[in-house]
Structure 1
């Protein structure tokens, strides 16, 4: 018995959006590094002001 079942071809990648993975990686890495530098120097300044 034949049934009319239409299965999508998984090679079509219908839901994929074009993305720049390396750009996302670099942006995330630089953003987190910048954030950590700001936190670090903020703590250094706070410690300097508290020690006086």
Structure 2
């Protein structure tokens, strides 16, 4: 799974979280329940936390 600052594709699901539009690819949408976007100081970037499924 990855993150990108990009325009949504026509098949993406677009939701608004805290006034920010987020596009989610339909192939990974089932794996996005209970995820939190966080900043990781060691990685010096954004990370997704939660949902310990074996999807990827």
TM range (shorter): under 0.3
* Greater helix proportion: 1
- Structure whose alpha-carbon radius of gyration is higher: 1
* Greater strand proportion: 2
TM-score normalised over the length of structure 1: 0.19
User: Which of the pair has the greater relative contact order for Cα pairs under 8 Å at 6+ separation?
Assistant: 2
